[in-house]
Structure 1
Amino acid sequence: MLHRLRARSQRGAAVVDVVLVIVVLVPLVLGIVQVALVMFVRNTLAAAASEGARLAATADRGPGEGVALTREQVDQAISGRYAQDVTVRRVLIDGAPAIEVTIHARVPALGLGGPAIELDVAGHAIEERP
């Protein structure tokens, strides 16, 4: 009889345990997914900016072609919305003339919307001399 009373008083405890575990695990998993998304976008933007800077720094090409290549690569890899704010400028790196391509992007929470993380990513290349 005592065993039956204990079993009855424990009824529903598994549901409570599952809910308590889910309350902790879901935000943790969503946080990991958000960090992975931001890192993926940042790495993709850095690679595209570097490629754009390399193209713009070649002797027979110009800054406009570097920006176009950067936008094209970002559009193909992730989404064109991340390539809206691409700038190019001439800079000096250790006294040598160089090209810098900078991408300013906003990565929304889980890629859905809401609060966004601002990213500024730059790629550099030393200019070729004819």
Structure 2
Amino acid sequence: MRVRPHRERRRPECGSAVADFAMVSGLVAVLFIAVFQVGLALHIRNTLISCAAEGARFGARADAQPEDGAARARQLISASVSERFAGNVTATVVDAGGAQVVAVTVVAPLPVIGPLGPDGRLRVVGRAFLESQ
């Protein structure tokens, strides 16, 4: 009897791990960028809401004018996020069910990472009761 040398057979799946990694890593990267984009937009939105509310409280004081609240909101936005988000800040006195309310409105660009993500503007309003009524 003659013994043949054992040859290794190549399995048909050989090299498929590299292809799987390439395909899955691309999907994971896109998913990570999308989650990061949503997180950044929510962070900016929450920061703008907080700054607008603080500006409204500042402008609603008995010894202040509503424009003082807009200036305070601009200052807070510039210090906490960036000056480009503080470009369009207005303050008005509005009637809310018989009570005078100072409303500070901030309109800012929506932060976008690269070409992905929604395009548009954020519009947030902070309100506080006017103390001098």
TM-score when normalising by structure 2: 0.86
2:31 aligned with 1:10? no
Q: Aligned equivalents of 2:22 and 2:106: distance in 1?
A: 42
RMSD: 1.9
Residue aligning to 1:29: 32
Question: How many residues are matched?
Answer: 127
Query: Structure 1, unaligned stretches of length 5 or more?
Result: none
- What SS does structure 2 have at the residue aligned with 1:67? helix
Report matched runs for 1:21-100 at 5 Å.
21-100=24-103
CA contact (8 A) 1:51 1:123 kept: yes
Q: Aligned equivalents of 2:44 and 2:18: distance in 1?
A: 38
CA contact (8 A) 2:109 2:122 kept: yes
Residue by residue, what CA displacement relative to the aligned partner does 1:77-125 show, whole Å, maximum 9, x if unpaired? Answer: 1111111010111101121011100000112312x57863311000000
CA contact (8 A) 1:93 1:126 kept: no
Residue by residue, what CA displacement relative to the aligned partner does 1:14-71 show, whole Å, maximum 9, x if unpaired? Answer: 2100111112211111110011001000000000000100111111011221111101
Q: Aligned equivalents of 2:42 and 2:18: distance in 1?
A: 36
Question: Greater helix share, 1 or 2?
Answer: 1
**Would you identify which runs of 4 or more consecutive aligned residues in structure 1 move more than 4 Å?**
112-115
Q: Aligned equivalents of 1:54 and 1:101: distance in 2?
A: 9
% same residue: 35
Structure 2 letter corresponding to 1:48? C
